[in-house]
Amino acid sequence: MATQAYAVEKIDIGRIVSRTFGAIGRNPLLYFGIAIAGLFLPSLVFRFAVIPTAAPGAVPNPLALLPYTLAGGLFGVILNVVTQAMLTHATVTDLSGSRPTFSNCVKTALPLILPLIGVGLLVYFGIVLGMILLIVPGIILALMWSVSVPALVEERRGVVASMGRSRALTKGSRWRLFGLFLVAGIICFIPPAIIAGFATRLQGSAIPSPLSPAALLGSLVGSLAEMLLATIVAAAYVELRTVKEGATVESLASIFD
């Protein structure tokens, strides 16, 4: 009977959104600080140190840029999973009624950095392969594995076990998650794309200088957008656990004690 009750109850998208903005609103300096320290500054250093800047009016060679694109993608995956681990800790701690701190977020993420990278790379390459074969399998895999990082951080499972845990948690809720992530993705990534296009047009180069004002603004907005999306994922994990398993937020946060 309990299994049937959980199967009937659906995740509440409004509650996920409310928890997301509630956690950020109660800890704005922490969340913005994680976005700046974990995403914006490292990506800025990477772009400045690794990616070449084209001369004004130059047309870049796509093959020449391929190594930088791949390296940037892998670097981004690592930054994202570590930052998402920090944001998962912050979100679960806040929703349990406690006050998250930057130092505790770092202490939670650093010991898990190797399995986090493992999860990030497996999910990344799995989704890319799915997208190459057919777009739909890639989307399905992305939804199946969407809460792998929170599962790893919160439940201390292994790499493959965390991905399997995400698959089990999202089962029956993937259409709702698809709608949530689709809207969130549009809201989060259209503004940075517009700013990046503006930076390219303003500088007259297909690869704008990483230190140009428009490029800096685009990177900053993009980092804040990724922070918001990662927080939504953390809140979605909490919602899945509470709705499907009857867990309380306090019990989820107890692992950090």
- Domain range annotation of the chain: 9-51+63-256
- Please, where are the H alpha helices in the chain? 2-8, 13-26, 28-35, 41-50, 62-95, 102-109, 113-133, 135-144, 148-155, 159-170, 174-203, 213-245, 249-253
First to last CA, the chain: 33
Q: Say if residue 5's pLDDT is above 50.
A: no
CA distances to 53, 82, 109 from 77, in Å: 23, 9, 15
Give mean pLDDT, residues 142-162: 94
Q: Is the pLDDT of residue 3 over 50?
A: no
Q: Which tokens go with 39? A: 């995403």
CA dihedral (78, 116, 15, 12) positive or negative: positive
Is pLDDT at 41 greater than 50 in this prediction? Answer: yes
Compute the distance between CA of residue 107 and CA of residue 92 in angstroms, rounded to an integer: 15
Q: What is the pTM of this model?
A: 0.83
Q: For 215-224, how does the pLDDT look when each residue is reduced to its tens digit (9 = 90+)?
A: 777 788 889 9
Closest CA to 207 of 91, 94, 55: 55
Say yes or no to pLDDT of 22 above 60: yes
